[in-house]
Amino acid sequence: MIGGMLVKAGIVALVFNEVRGFVLAAPVLYGMYVAGGTWMALWLGFCSLAGIALSVLAPLYAVRKFNLIPARAKR
C-alpha cells in the first residue's frame, strides 16, 4: 500500500516537472524575441532551453530505463 502511494506521488512529481519545464521556457523565448534575434541571444537561449530540456527529459529517461512504473495488470 505504501509502495503504491509512493509510485503515485512520483508520477505526480514527474508531471509537475514537465509543467515546470514549460513555465521556465517561456521567459527564455520571450527574452530571445526582445533581444531581436542577435547571435548571442540565440546562443544563450539555446543553452538555457537545452538545460531545461535536460532537467525535464533525464527523469523520464530514468523511469523508462529502470522500469519504475509497473505495467498495468491485464484483467
Read off the C-alpha cell for 63. 523511469
Give the start-to-end residue ranges of the domains of the chain. 37-66
CB 33 within 8 A of CB 1: no
Higher per-residue confidence, 68 vs 48: 48
Task: Give me the residue label for grid cell 491485464.
Answer: 74
Read off the C-alpha cell for 69. 512504473
Q: Which burial class, exposed, middle or buried, applies to 14 when counting CB atoms under 10 A from its CB (0-12, 13-18, 19+)? A: middle
Single pTM value for the model: 0.58
CB 52 within 8 A of CB 21: yes
| Tens digits of residue pLDDT in 37-46 | 788 888 888 8
Give how far the C-alpha of residue 49 lies from the chain's centroid of Cα atoms, to the nearest Å.
11
